[in-house]
Structures are given as structure tokens and as C-alpha cells.
Structure 1
Amino acid sequence: MADFIDRVVLHVTGGNGGHGCVSVHREKFKPLGGPDGGNGGNGGDVRLVADGNVHTLLDFHHRPHQKAGNGKPGMGSHRNGANGEGLTLRVPPGTVVATQSGEVLADLAVAGSEYTVAPGGRGGLGNAALASSRRKAPGFALLGEPGEETTVVLELKSVADVGLVGFPSAGKSSLISVISAARPKIADYPFTTLVPNLGVVQAGQFTFTVADVPGLIPGAAQGKGLGLEFLRHVERTSVLVHVVDCATLEPGRDPLSDIDALTKELDEYGDLAGRAGIVALTKIDVPEARELAEFITPDLRERGFEVFAISAVTHEGLDALTFALGAAVERYRLAHPIEEAPRVVIRPKAIGEDEFSVRPDPQSPGGFIVEGTKPVRWIRQTDFTNDEAVGFLADRLAKLGVEAELAREGALPGCDVTIGDVSFGWEPTAESVAGEMGVVAFGHRGTDPRLEAAETRARVSADERRAAKRGRRIPYELKESDGYEIEEPDER
């Protein structure tokens, strides 16, 4: 007999993004081919998909570690790396995805529902994609971002139309075995049923599923006996049936007290007692049980229950019970239609939410911690062995406003700043921030005002030569703001 697993701890990892490529086009008679490094491919995602053909979490019990494929690195000649192969994990409908602390991430209640549990990392840009008017031949590329790694708890809550609830050995397994093709284990001792059994019932024009779940005892809502193992699988049912043993010889028990105990446990777990409007009095093939069923039926009907006296041995009363169940399920379906598999959206980003935040570092006096999706991702994509790549990171952070926010928070040059898992001594590079602090900054990385001044002088000389040929002179005044000193003219 195959094992039934309804709760597993799953460790998943998205694929890593491929690194970008640093390459310069080299071809005969084309000395200035320019950068042609391709981008790295994205890492594959790990997705959970509810599949109606899957009924247990057994596969993940034996293989709790799952990882998607990595993206391929970029190559020269503008060749991008291939994306990593995604990993699709199929789970039974009714699977709840939660963190280890109990926070629900997704509820895959309907077949076709899906949830990306571990996104893959982005591929790094090659130097061809990083080229610009200021940076014509980048000597660096971005690294691929590592895939997300997380641990989740998968918990299966059976999706059935009808749930059979009752004390151990009340006759639930016998009932489902005669009204459907299910073949559960049947024996004359308590807790014979240790795992849920699902059966499909056809009653005229009605077709519905019935779940036979482990027996219930007082205190189950607090975990006594099989406790939550039982209640988890009746949480999603639309109709609950009290299965009451009228032939029990256990002292201190009778059908009315059994129903009271069941109702109390259902209410304590999650206000489920309102779904239990039908009572099945079993084992009426025993003369004493039949007499007891006839005696208590008026009392149960006064409480608002539909009462059916049945026998799994002689099949007496089964037709009336199944048609009543079919009608109750149909009423529930009309009141709660399911049009399509729900699209699960988890923790959407609020409109206008800041892209980053700066706060003091409690473990480093005078230091600061920068948090945010973009800064952390940029840190992961930076090759810190390449000075040009580090300069590009500084430009990105300054453009995002990180340096200005650090200055507003009171950061001083040289203080420790932590982004992600990287700490460094902060030196402002933005001209506006550096000017307020009295620090010299050369502006954007890859530019130098001294070189720009030399280019200006050469351009002025060329303009003057062309103007002299035409017999006129173009005045051009050099300013200190152009990046070099102005000498006073010679008095001679």
C-alpha cells in the first residue's frame, strides 16, 4: 500500500542567472569593432502547480530538495546565454503553501492554480549592453544574480464535497465503501483509518466526492488523538455528515452525546458545525441499533438535522442518503460558484513605495544599512575585482538617490555602509553631495574635467584657425568652471 503524505517541508532554490560577457569585436580591417559581449541567461523559476491527477505529497517527502536550472553565461559576437530550465512541481489540489513560521503564502485550492515559490536570478548584462555615449568601451560586465533560496511547508487539505465525521469505528469507512468505489481498510478497532479516503458518488444527476477521514474524539481541536490530522481534511468540504454508531457498547456514550461532542470540536477548530446538517445513524441491521435510531430520530429533527438510518451491510437507507447529499452539494455549488482557478498574488508592492531605505546600523556606530530591491540586486551583480565595475555601481547608487539619502541621515565620508552582504567605507561621488561636504568629486565615473578642458582647448584652436582663414575671429572665453585654471594675461 502506498504511503499517504499530507505535510512536507520543501527546500527550493531558483536557478542562478548567467554572467554577462566582456568581449571586444576583433576582425581584420576593422580595428574599432567595439564591445560585443552578450548578456547572461535568466535562471529558471520553481513553480508549484495544482494537478488533479496528483493525490499525495509523497514525492517531496522522499526528495525534499528541489532546484531549477541555471542560466548560461553570455558570449562574444552579441550572443546571449540561454535561460535556465524552469522546474514545475505538481501538487494535489487543496495544497497550502506556508512559511515555517505559519504565514500562508498561497492556497492552491483548485486544479490549475500555480505559485512561483522560488524565482530564478536575473542574468548579468554584457559589456555591449552597458556601452553608452560616455562609456564607449566598457571593460566590465554584470554578474548573474543568484536564484532565491527558501524553505516552505506544503500542507494538503483534502478537497471533497462531503466529509464524513464521527467517532472511531462509527462506520465511516464501511459507508464510503458501499456508496463509492473506494476500498478503505475496515476493521473492528479504533483508528483503523489513518489517512483520508476519497470516493466518487453518483446519485441520479448528482456527482460528488466524499472524504472518509480519521476518527474524531473529544479534544481533537487541541491536537488530541489524530487531532488536526482529522480536522485539516474537513475544512474545505461543503457538507459534513455526522456518522453516529447506534450499536456501540462503550459506556457513557449515546448518539446525542456523540453529536454534541462532534459539534463542539468542529466549532473550536473553525466554526465548521454549521456545515453539518445531516446525520447518518449507522448499523441498523442490529435490532438494538434500529430501536435506538427510531427513538432518537425525533429529537435530532427538532435540532434541525436531516436524519437517515442506514446499514452498510444491507444497504438500507443508502439511496435516500446519497440523493440528499447530492442535493445539498448542488445547493452549495450554486451559492459558491467557482468560475476559474484563482490567480494568486502574494505581497504586491504598494504604489509609491520607496525603492530603498537607509537606517543606522546598530552594530556599527556611525554606520548605516541600505535596504531595497535594487541596491541589493546591484551589489550581487557587481564584480568587485574590477574597478570600473565598482565605479559603475557607485554611479547607479548615486543616480537612485542613495548618496543624497545617506547625507540627509548624517553619514560622513569614510563611514561604514552595508548593502546586502557587502560593507564598504562610503566616499560620496555625486557632485551635489560632495560639494555640500567639501569633498572633491570628479563627477561621473569614466569622465575627467581635465581631459574635457584639453578637448575644449583643441576645439577652440581649430575654430580660430578656420576663422582666421575667413578673415574674422571668434571670441571664446574659457572659464574656471570648465575644469582648469585661468592665467592672467601678460602686461607686456
Structure 2
Amino acid sequence: MLVAGRRLTFGKEQPVSRFVDRAVIHAVAGGGGNGCASVHREKFKPLGGPDGGNGGNGGDVVLVVDAGVHTLLDFHFRPHAKATNGKQGQGSNRNGAAGEDLELRVPDGTVVLDEDGEILADLVGAGTRYIAAQGGRGGLGNAALASKSRKAPGFALLGEPGTARDLTLELRSVADVGLVGFPSAGKSSLIAVLSAARPKIADYPFTTLVPNLGVVTAGDEVFTIADVPGLIPGASEGKGLGLDFLRHIERCAVLVHVVDCATFESGRDPISDVDALEAELAKYTPSLGGDLDSRPRLIVLNKVDVPDAAELAELVRPELTARGFRVFEVSTASRDGLRELGFAMAEAVASDRLARPKVSAPRQVVRPVAVDDRGFTVHRDPENPEGFLVRGQRPERWVRQTDFANNEAVGYLGDRLARLGVEEELASQGAQPGAPVTIAGYTFDWEPTTPAGVAVVRSGRGSDPRLDEDNRISAAERKQARRIRRTGEPDPDGERAARPHEESE
């Protein structure tokens, strides 16, 4: 087709066997590898210090926009996506390898929603990335946990589990112009003559079941045009293809009403068709922001090659013009009026592009932690009046990384929580020794170790009262028991030696 001495150039869309514009995926990130508890050993040096390496981080599940992908069909058949886990650390200070990220290719215009329907990301532009599931951190080995007070830790931290999420992916077409109209109004024929797109065209309603995109060049403007499924009254409430149709015009800058002037259906005429289309657009609220009712409109009175349709178009055109619409009489069969329509759409798209704010390059945003932010909160347990719930990213991660089969690891967890201020907060809220405290799904009986408003034994610097608890039998007590077994009589001197702390009566 020639426009102003130039031939329209068109982009070709890749055919697909099946179009899917909505899919639910189950994204599971990789878990972090466990740290290693190891002691360096060599000849003449049996205890050379801790040398356990750290575990590797788990892989992420990442959504990446790919210009060569046009449908969510792959996720319809393969909804489960799992990244690899990180490797465990090893002795001789060997760290575990990190898990590989799993990149999922999605089409341009994909919107990511959570289980509650909240929009998490709007992926527009080739190369745009979004981390759908974050991989877990690798656990520290005992070499990294060594300190002045704990020179040879006998434990290591476990790897943090990866994030598991159920996400909904919705494809919302990225087009500058959207063709809106009743079924069989001629939208597919119009996009076929304006672009290289070859949608299915037939003489029955709802021929178009999936959006069709085409690229049009009119003068110096290049824009995309979308032919979406037909609209019927009640579509904003889900009737017909309903929301599946309206979702694909949310991004369109210009809406073109395609009106069938040659229809023989009773109760149908161009004015009532335009009123019905305007009513449905006004009722629909785009989830991406804005409203469709304020978008620029063009009215296309189609099929004017039919004599009766041409007369009807001449009759209704003054009324539509009086409402402020730009009206064009076209025929896809004879191609009358297509040149003026193409330039009008290009002009409307150019005006919208000039009105849009310039997109600046993304900047690194640094959000410092507030002075009064302690990184955790303590609340009463609604299911247990005497219990408490501790929430916070750091304490929950520490609990998940603790090996509760190792007493030293449990003590290290208690020390970390105490340094963070969890015990002080529990005491300030009236927690008593033995109160159940739940962190990250684990419930503990709270035994305070700091003098935070509770009666505890204070120890000197460099000592720990927990280490004074020794229930082992001494050598003197074993000797006394052996004498009783042999002679049946205790040794008075041995008995006094076995209990030197007892005062004589």
C-alpha cells in the first residue's frame, strides 16, 4: 500500500500453534548449601583449627523479557520452575558452588501478580528482568564462625531454603492503537490491509479469539496496531470474552471504534454501537493505572462499499462529529479512506508520545535503615495468651539456619538473639521464664540469659554461668562408690573428700 509516495512497511509476526495469555507458575528458588564443620589435621598437628568452608547460595528464578516470545504457552504445559541448590561447603576452607539461576523467557508486556491479585511487576522492554523467587543463602562454615571467644566452633550453619511462590502471568499486548468493536465489525480485515498481519477472517461472530499485532509506517511515524477479540455489552463484567479482551487494550494510547454500517441485526445502528462501546470502556478500570474513558478516540464507519452502509454513514456522521469524535468512512474491500485513517492514527500516536514524560535511566536507590528500626517485632501470640511471636528477617533467617541437633549451635543462636535485643524486648513486654516464643514456625521455651528485667545470675567478664552446670561424677565419688561395693562401708575420709563443699556439723 502506498502512502504519500511511500510504501507502507510492516513487521511480520511469528505464527504460534496456540496463543495463551494467562498462566500460573510455581516458582521455587534453590536452597543454600550447608556450611561445613571441619578441623584442620596434618602430621604433628592434629588440631590445626577450624577450616570448614561456606555453603553456596541457591539459584534464583528470573523472568526475562524476550522479543522472540509472543505467548505464555510454555508455562501452560510446564508450570513448575525450580532453580538448582547451592553446594555444601567442604574442609580445607573449600566453599560450595552457588546454584545456577533459572531464566524464564516471557513476552513483552507480561504482568506478574501474586496470589492475592496484587501486581508485582510490569515487564515491558526487551531484556527487562524480575526475580520471581529469591535463592536461599548458603550457611557459614565453622572457619567463618571462629572468633576470639569461640576459637574452634564445633558447628556450622545450615543453608537457607529458597523462596517458593505461586505467581500469575498475564500478557497485556503492547500496542499504540487498539481496534475496538463488536464481533464481525471488520477489525481483522482492517488490520490485514494496514499491516502484514494475517488474522483469521470469517463471516461469523468471534472469529478473532486472540490478539493480532501489526506494525504500520505512515509518513515518518511507525506504530503498532492491535486487533483484539470483539466486545459485547457486559464485557466489563466478564461477559463474552470480557476481561480477556479489555486486558489487551490497557496499554493502547489511541482507541479506534470500528463500527459496522452494513449490519442487519435488529436494534443495531452505528450510534447505539458507539454508545455501548463507550459505556463498557467507562466501566472498566485498568489495573495498570489510568482509565480508558480518557484515551483519544477515532470512529471508523466500516463497509461503506455497500450502498446502504454508505447512506447510513452519511446520516450518522454529523452526530458523531458533533460529539467531538474524528470520523472516517472506510472500506477494507475497496480500500477507500485507509490513507486518511492511517495518517490520523499516526498523528494521534505522535501527540501521545510527545505528551509522555521522558523516561530516565534507572537509578540506584539506597534506603538506609531507620535509627529506631531494630529489625524485628515482638507481639502476643493470639492462639496462646502466655506466648509471644517474634517476626523479622534476621531472627527468622537465623532460626532456619540453626542445626538444633547441635547444642553449641543452639547456644550460638541464643547469643545472637540476645545481642539483637530480642530478650530485652520480651522482658519489657512481660514475658516470664518458660513462656513459649515462636520464631519462623519454631516454638521455644524462653530461658532468659541476660539481666533484662528478670532475675538471673550475673557472671564476671569472660565467664558463662551456663558452663558451671556440671553433672558429671567426680573421681572421689567414683572411689567412694567402689569402696561401698567392696566392703559395704563408706570411708569417712573419702566421704569428706567426695563432698568438700559440705560444712562439718
Using the size of structure 1 for normalisation, the TM-score is 0.87
Gaps of 5+ in 1: 452-492
Distance 1:105 1:257, change over 3 A: same
Match for residue 421 of structure 2?
401
Q: Tell me the CA shift for residue 186 of structure 1.
A: 0.7
Separation (CA, whole Å) in 1 of partners of 2:138 and 2:45: 30
2:306 to 286, 294, 305: 286
Contact 1:246 1:283 (8 Å CA) reproduced: yes
Distance 1:258 1:325, change over 3 A: same
The answer on 1:141 being equivalent to 2:161 is no
Contact 1:50 1:108 (8 Å CA) reproduced: yes
Q: Tell me the CA shift for residue 94 of structure 1.
A: 1.4
Q: Tell me the CA shift for residue 447 of structure 1.
A: 4.4
Distance 1:413 1:98, change over 3 A: same
2:238 to 215, 223, 230: 223
Q: Tell me the CA shift for residue 439 of structure 1.
A: 2.6
Contact 1:164 1:212 (8 Å CA) reproduced: yes
Aligned length: 446
Contact 1:110 1:342 (8 Å CA) reproduced: no
Separation (CA, whole Å) in 1 of partners of 2:226 and 2:433: 67
Comparing 373-382 with 111-120, greater Cα deviation is found at 111-120
The answer on 1:311 being equivalent to 2:296 is no
Separation (CA, whole Å) in 2 of partners of 1:65 and 1:237: 32
Match for residue 261 of structure 2?
246
Corresponding residue SS for 1:437: coil
Corresponding residue SS for 2:284: helix
Q: Give the alignment of 1:83-232 within 5 angstroms.
A: 83-232=98-247
1:391 to 411, 424, 427: 411
Match for residue 257 of structure 1?
272
1:165-194 Cα deviation digits (max 9, x unpaired) = 001100000000111111111111111111
Match for residue 458 of structure 1?
none
Q: Tell me the CA shift for residue 304 of structure 1.
A: 1.2
Match for residue 454 of structure 2?
437
Separation (CA, whole Å) in 2 of partners of 1:87 and 1:373: 24
Q: Tell me the CA shift for residue 449 of structure 1.
A: 9.4
Separation (CA, whole Å) in 2 of partners of 1:56 and 1:261: 30
Distance 1:303 1:136, change over 3 A: same
Contact 1:429 1:442 (8 Å CA) reproduced: no
Residue identity matched to 1:265: E
Using the size of structure 2 for normalisation, the TM-score is 0.85
Distance 1:450 1:26, change over 3 A: closer
Separation (CA, whole Å) in 1 of partners of 2:119 and 2:327: 38
Contact 1:442 1:449 (8 Å CA) reproduced: no
Separation (CA, whole Å) in 2 of partners of 1:87 and 1:344: 24
Match for residue 500 of structure 2?
none
Q: Tell me the CA shift for residue 31 of structure 1.
A: 3.9
Gaps of 5+ in 2: 1-15, 286-290, 469-505
Separation (CA, whole Å) in 1 of partners of 2:158 and 2:407: 14
Match for residue 441 of structure 2?
421
Match for residue 351 of structure 2?
331
Comparing 171-180 with 311-320, greater Cα deviation is found at 311-320
Separation (CA, whole Å) in 2 of partners of 1:335 and 1:100: 35
Distance 1:233 1:449, change over 3 A: closer
Separation (CA, whole Å) in 1 of partners of 2:19 and 2:194: 22
Distance 1:61 1:286, change over 3 A: same
Residue identity matched to 1:38: G
Match for residue 484 of structure 1?
none
The answer on 1:356 being equivalent to 2:371 is no
Q: Tell me the CA shift for residue 274 of structure 1.
A: 2.5
Q: Tell me the CA shift for residue 50 of structure 1.
A: 2.0
Residue identity matched to 2:211: P
Residue identity matched to 1:438: A
Contact 2:457 2:465 (8 Å CA) reproduced: no
Distance 1:72 1:450, change over 3 A: closer
Q: What RMSD in Å do the two structures reach over aligned CA positions?
A: 2.1
Distance 1:10 1:450, change over 3 A: closer
